[in-house]
Amino acid sequence: MSSAFPEIYLVRHGETEWSRSGRHTGRTDIPLTANGEAAAGKLIERLSGLTFSAVWSSPSARARRTCVLAGFGSDAVIRDDLAEWDYGAYEGITTTEILASRPGWQLFRDGCPNGEFAADVGARADAVIHALRQTAGTILIFSSSHFLRVLAARWLGLPPEGGVYFSLDTTSISVLGYEHDLTEPVIRRWNQR
């Protein structure tokens, strides 16, 4: 299903040891696993035939490596505002471990001590959306799960906390776009593996 309007392709980075084990990976640079590298390499085929007016990547090594293995490394512009959520004191810790000491905790509602809250991530997502709407053409973005979930929520005009409703697998492809005109942002495809 193609569109007459610009589309934004979102790619979550390939698998890392921490993404596989459920550890929150914000600013720690964890390399892709062998499986993550292989899946990222298959993105070449999955994105074949598409033309992008711009390619943007998070500064994380995992997103940049995914971008390179997908065949877009030489075209990528690194944007700091595409960085994953800063988990602060919860960096490297699983949700199960956090809940043991903080029952009822929910990332999108409660944020992270010494890190970011949904509003902080939402402000970065809003800056990205502003730049997207100023750039003509289809754009390819490589980033991480929680940031991309907030970006999708903000694209639709939902509060940043709305990202809780969107799940993303590693090396998934999602597409943001428009329906009838540029005033109707939609999610055209989500979490395609």
CA terminus-to-terminus distance, the chain: 17
* Residue at 64: amino acid letter: R
Distance from C-alpha of 127 to C-alpha of 149, rounded to nearest angstrom = 15
Distance from C-alpha of 38 to C-alpha of 12, rounded to nearest angstrom = 14
Indicate which residue of 7, 15, 84, 91 is catalytic.
84
**β-strand pairing of 173-178 with 185-192:** antiparallel
Distance from C-alpha of 50 to C-alpha of 72, rounded to nearest angstrom = 12
Paired tokens of 156 = 């639709």
Indicate which residue of 13, 91, 116, 161 is catalytic.
13
Distance from C-alpha of 90 to C-alpha of 106, rounded to nearest angstrom = 12
Q: Which runs of E-coded beta strand occur in 62-134?
A: 76-78
Assess whether 146 carries a catalytic annotation: no
Assess whether 84 carries a catalytic annotation: yes
Q: Exposed, middle or buried by CB within 10 Å (0-12, 13-18, 19+), for 4?
A: exposed
- Which residues are tagged catalytic? 13, 84
